[in-house]
Amino acid sequence: MQQSPSIGHGWAVFSTLDALAKPIRMPLFFAIAGLFAAGALSRSWVRLLTGRVANLVWLYSLWTVIYWLFFRYFDPTDGLKPLGLSKWQLIYMWIIPPSGQWFLWLMAIYLVLAKAIARFRGPVHLSAIFLLCALSAEAAADLPHYPWRNGLLYVPFFIGGAWYGRALAEWAPRHAAMLIVGGAAGFTALWMLTRHPGAHIGLSMAGLMEAVGVAPLLNRISWLKRPLLFFGRRTLSIYLGHGLVIAALSMPLSVLPLGDHAFLWVTPFLMLFSLFGSLVLHDRVGSLGRMWLYSEEGMRQSLPKRLRI
């Protein structure tokens, strides 16, 4: 078996940065997803299920199969990644997501849940959801599959974004300094308590507060607006394609004579190559490919007209 390259102690730097970003990264993602889902939640059940939820289910099923086929018949990791090892994965993928597309699976579930509890919208009920998730965090940590654990940890952020994301986005620019200082102070204080699983919810809330405060400041930097808007509109393409790009690069990287300080170029290289590789993939598949691979439009158009909704 081809061994993964050792790139020395430098990885500790990125491990530390990743540990600091972890409590913020996915909660922020799901809070923003909830914000963008707010309009869909105001629709009827039929329109929600046949619209946004159907799109998520289509993308999750299609890209999970794509990744499964890739790792089954062209596995550059030489078996280090378990995806593609069993045909049963295509059956139980609806219960245990086997690939990096678990976030699509969760968002479909969150949309249905948020619609079901929409009549309970209010700060008291949202606080209760956060408290319940914090209290159940220790039990969630024992769940055998990380998509299940993530499902319990991130649900309050999605619902909070759906209920109050728009109001917070309008309020944040006027109170950016308070959000940044308060969020940073809370994050620092709660970091010391991370041995308790329930503290991670508070840590994510503090980090999210800080991120919300920083966002309006970044928006004021004129030269950052265009690239942020460019990548923001292509987030889905990057999320869906970057795993394939990184996996394809792992084989040539594994045979290179990498030194102790290879982390200085390998990590930035992987990040940039996966980013732009995903965008190239999105561009090269053409309009027909995008209609199938990045939305459910192709699937809908292939149905007889009487079955289209």
Q: How many CB atoms lie within 10 A of CB 135?
A: 12
Task: Compute how many other C-beta atoms are within 10 angstroms of the C-beta atom of residue 82.
Answer: 12
- How far is it, in rounded angstroms, from Cα 107 to Cα 56? 7
Segments making up each domain of the chain, as ranges: 225-309
Whose tokens are 């976030």? That residue is 103
pLDDT at 74: 80
Question: Rounded to the nearest 10 degrees, what angle do helices 235-254 and 263-284 cross at?
Answer: 130
Instruction: Say what the pLDDT of residue 8 is.
Output: 41
Provide the pLDDT for residue 304: 64
Nearest to 36 by CA among 207, 210, 158: 158
The pTM for the full model equals 0.85
pLDDT for residue 231? 87
State how far the Cα of 187 lies from the Cα of 204, in Å rounded to an integer: 8
Tens place of pLDDT for every residue, the chain, 309 residues? 333 343 344 456 667 777 778 888 899 999 999 999 999 999 999 999 999 999 999 999 999 999 999 888 887 666 556 788 888 989 989 999 988 899 999 999 999 999 999 999 999 999 999 998 888 877 777 888 888 988 988 999 999 999 999 999 899 989 999 999 998 888 888 887 666 666 778 888 888 888 889 988 888 888 888 888 888 888 999 999 998 888 888 777 767 766 666 666 777 788 888 899 999 998 988 888 888 898 877 777 766 665 555
pLDDT in tens, 188-201: 888 876 666 667 78
Report the run of H or E that residue 78 belongs to, with start and end: none
Burial 30-67 (b: 16+ CB within 10 A, else e): bbbbbbebeebbeeeeeebbbbbbbbbbbbbbbbbebb
CA distance 3 to 162: 45
* Whole-number pLDDT of residue 5: 40
Please enumerate, as own/partner, the contacts of 168-171 that have beta carbons within 8 Å and a separation of 24 or more: 168/212, 169/35, 169/212
How far is residue 46's CA from residue 199's CA, in Å, rounded to a whole number? 38
CB neighbour class for 19 (10 Å; exposed up to 12, middle 13-18, buried from 19): exposed
